[in-house]
Amino acid sequence: MKTVLAFLLLFSIFDSREAGTTPLRWGADFESGAPYSFKDPKNPDRIIGFEAEIVEAIAREIGMEVQTFQNNWEGLVEGLKRDDYDIIVNGLEITPDRAGVVNFSQPYYITSEVMTVRKDENKIITLESAEGKRIGTLAGSLAQRILAQQDFPFEMLTYGEEVHTYSDLALGRLDAVFMDEPIALYYGKPNPALKIVGPAVGRLEYGIATRLNDKELTQKIRKASAKLIADGTFRRILERWGLWNGLTAKQWGMSAEPETPALAYEEYLKTAWKPVDFVERMRRYVGFLPLLAKGAVMTLQISIISMVLAMIIGLFTALGRLYGPWPLRWVGIAYVEVFRGTPLLIQLFLIFYGLPHLGLRLDPFIAAVLGLGLNYGACEAENYRAGILSIPKAQMDASQALGMSHVQALRYIILPQAIRVVIPPVTNDFIALLKDSSLVSVITMVELTSIYGQLASTYFDYLGIGLLTAAVYFLIGLPFVRISRYFESSLNVHFSANGKR
């Protein structure tokens, strides 16, 4: 048992960072994001995209090695401030209020907003003509701000990422989508059910963000960017992805016509939008298994360690509530009510993003285990309290009548019997925790559900890959269900009054 625990601990502290060149830690949301930064459909272990190439070029120029860090798009700036990574390159627009919080390099791309509608839509041809309609956009983006400034009535729906926005448009849940042009080029235009309409609106500049106090890196990046702009490297990258436009050409004093073919864009159209037959799809799913397995291992690690923590916290809280002096009892009650009565998601946010403001900055894995452990510790406390209370008082009487102290009676007589009673609810809680572990993706942990998100958005296959992922969750929970059923039945043998020999 001890070796298993030691192994697990070792597993969890394992640091995959390579020694040698200083890593350039790049934070972005890889769960969606063509053409920015996304998983290569042909090789889901690789990150591709025009930003990936820009980051590579910069890293090479300043002599550093790129290391990727996944985070939700809305949390990117927070993560940068937390020192989880050193740069953000992920379609982050340069705005005055952002510039007060982070440093920006010069823009690496300048674009605007465009409107996408269904192919059969005839009424909507400009932004204003979408009066009274349902318009979808990306939360926290310039597009959303522009929409908010419009003075004609319409319904605005904000999304966390672009894939679902466009698929909802195709499904009829939206009438129009208003987003950055690159997104429309990759998610709107290639969809045969959609078309881009109207003039481009607004101007937005994407920049590389660094921490305000990271003067050295900021300087290096600005210098490298200037060079890569001047020698045409950035231009060639943008052209490859079919993104070269007039706004950027004017900014850099170059010709607006693309000089090299948009090979990456064509490749993307070929692989991402190609309909696949059943056999090809099955083969693809088999190819996902190693990635899903990696996610499953992380999910299991987090879940098991959190559950052990929860059980320890739960046991002490239950005992404190039942037998402790009144201050301890009140602490126990308060703990249970607070952690049981507030959402796990918020607890995770507070631990990961809130505590640093109080000086306590936790590693994502530690934060994840702490959040899950404290939340489920409250549930376990109630389970154990109920289990202990369910043991007849007569058992305590008999133990004490034999001269045992209260503590001895608990340890040798009451708790062993209570274990059998609590096995079903505890198993329940573990399976629930296994599923709730998917929430830790919001604090940058990459586990099974994040892998699902990345794969599903890369291949536009939410249903199929979703079923596959659900099956993996089910399978990794199964052994624990069997183990608990085994314990239940072996303990039941002793307790059944009908087991007469």
Partner 1 sequence: MIVTAHNVKKNFNHRIVVDGISLEADEGDLVALIGPSGCGKSTLLRCLNGLESIDDGRIQICNTTLLSPRDIGQKIFSQRALAVRQKVGMVFQSFNLFPHLTIIENLMVAQQVVLRVDKAQAELTALDLLRKVGLEDRHDFYPGEISGGQQQRAAIARALAMSPKVLLYDEPTSALDPTLVDEVLRVMKQLDQEGMTQIVVTHEMRFAREVADRIVYIEHGKIVEQGPPAQIFTNPQDERTRTFLKHFL
Residues that bind partner 1 (CB under 8 A): 394-395, 397-405, 408, 412-413, 416-417, 420, 491, 494-501
Mark 70-101 as b/e (b = at least 16 C-beta within 10 Å). Answer: bbbbebbbbbbebebbbbbbbbbbbeeeeeee
Q: Which is nearer to partner 1, 262 or 413 (CB)?
A: 413
> Which residues lie across from 299 on neighbouring strands?
none
Closest contact distance (angstroms) between CB of 415 and partner 1 is 10
Closest contact distance (angstroms) between CB of 329 and partner 1 is 17
Closest contact distance (angstroms) between CB of 397 and partner 1 is 6
Q: Which among 23, 15, 32 has a CA at the least distance from the CA of 70?
A: 32
Q: Which is nearer to partner 1, 192 or 325 (CB)?
A: 325
What is the residue whose two structure tokens read 């993706």? 441
Q: Which is nearer to partner 1, 149 or 498 (CB)?
A: 498
Q: Which is nearer to partner 1, 42 or 411 (CB)?
A: 411
**What's the Cα-to-Cα distance from 378 to each of 324, 335, 350, rounded to whole Å?**
17, 7, 17
Sequence letter at residue 312: I
Instruction: End-to-end CA distance of the chain: give it in Å, rounded.
Output: 34
Closest contact distance (angstroms) between CB of 419 and partner 1 is 9
Give the CA angle between residues 463, 465, 470 to the nearest 5°. Answer: 90
Q: What is the largest CA-CA distance in the chain?
A: 96
Q: Which is nearer to partner 1, 286 or 402 (CB)?
A: 402
Report which DSSP code applies to 75.
G
Q: Which among 285, 204, 184, 288 has a CA at the least distance from the CA of 251?
A: 204
Q: Which two tokens stand for residue 91?
A: 């379609």
Q: Which is nearer to partner 1, 62 or 491 (CB)?
A: 491
Mark 136-161 as b/e (b = at least 16 C-beta within 10 Å). Answer: bbbebbbbbebbeeeeeebeeeebbb
Closest contact distance (angstroms) between CB of 411 and partner 1 is 8
Closest contact distance (angstroms) between CB of 324 and partner 1 is 15
Closest contact distance (angstroms) between CB of 492 and partner 1 is 10
Strand bridging mode 209-211 / 87-88: antiparallel
Those residues with Cβ within 8 angstroms of residue 259's Cβ, 6 or more apart along the chain or in another chain: 235, 239
Closest contact distance (angstroms) between CB of 388 and partner 1 is 14
Q: Which is nearer to partner 1, 17 or 494 (CB)?
A: 494
Q: Which is nearer to partner 1, 106 or 408 (CB)?
A: 408
Closest contact distance (angstroms) between CB of 490 and partner 1 is 11
Q: Which is nearer to partner 1, 63 or 392 (CB)?
A: 392
Closest contact distance (angstroms) between CB of 481 and partner 1 is 23
Those residues with Cβ within 8 angstroms of residue 163's Cβ, 6 or more apart along the chain or in another chain: 32, 187, 457, 460
Report which DSSP code applies to 249.
H
Q: Which among 105, 60, 49, 102 has a CA at the least distance from the CA of 226?
A: 105
Q: Which is nearer to partner 1, 357 or 494 (CB)?
A: 494
Those residues with Cβ within 8 angstroms of residue 61's Cβ, 6 or more apart along the chain or in another chain: 224, 227, 228
Q: Which is nearer to partner 1, 150 or 417 (CB)?
A: 417
Coil, strand or helix at 103: strand
CA–CA separation, 446 and 69 (whole Å): 9
Those residues with Cβ within 8 angstroms of residue 368's Cβ, 6 or more apart along the chain or in another chain: 302, 306, 348, 437, 440, 443, 445
Q: Which is nearer to partner 1, 19 or 497 (CB)?
A: 497
